[in-house]
Amino acid sequence: MRRGVAYQGQNDLQKAKHDLEQVLAREPTNKRAQSLLSEVESAIEKEKSSAPEEKKKGRRMVIEEVEGSSDEEEENREPAKQEAVSKGV
């Protein structure tokens, strides 16, 4: 029972449902487990119904080129380093 409540608190609803169902299999008259299970099942249904809406909320990013970036400067420095190494500096 405690683990089911902990899973519910962590929003791991499938594990919470499984644990609460195990409690009810051993103690079918446990009112607290029955109410928690109904809460978890309704939260699962709510999560399933809202999942398609969340996928529609995507955003597009605009990527802009910036002149004189540090990547270009590093590329220009590399040949100079290679020359120094070949000369034994």
3-16 per-residue burial string, b: 16 or more CB within 10 A, e: under 16: ebbebbeeeebeeb
Residue 14, domain extent: 2-50
Helices (H) and strands (E) in the chain, counts: 4, 0
Domain membership of residue 80 (yes or no) is no
Domain membership of residue 13 (yes or no) is yes
Domain count, the chain: 1
For residues 75 and 26, the model is more confident at 26
CA distance 48 to 88: 66
Domain membership of residue 35 (yes or no) is yes
Domain membership of residue 19 (yes or no) is yes
Q: pLDDT per residue over 27-79, tens digit each? A: 999 999 999 999 999 999 988 887 655 556 677 878 888 887 565 555 555 55
Residue 65 has phi, psi (to 5 degrees) of: -75, 140
With residues binned 3-state (H G I as helix, E B as strand, rest as coil), the percentages for the chain, rounded to 5, are 75, 0, 25
Domain membership of residue 65 (yes or no) is no
pTM (2 decimals)?
Answer: 0.55
Residue 9 has phi, psi (to 5 degrees) of: -65, -30
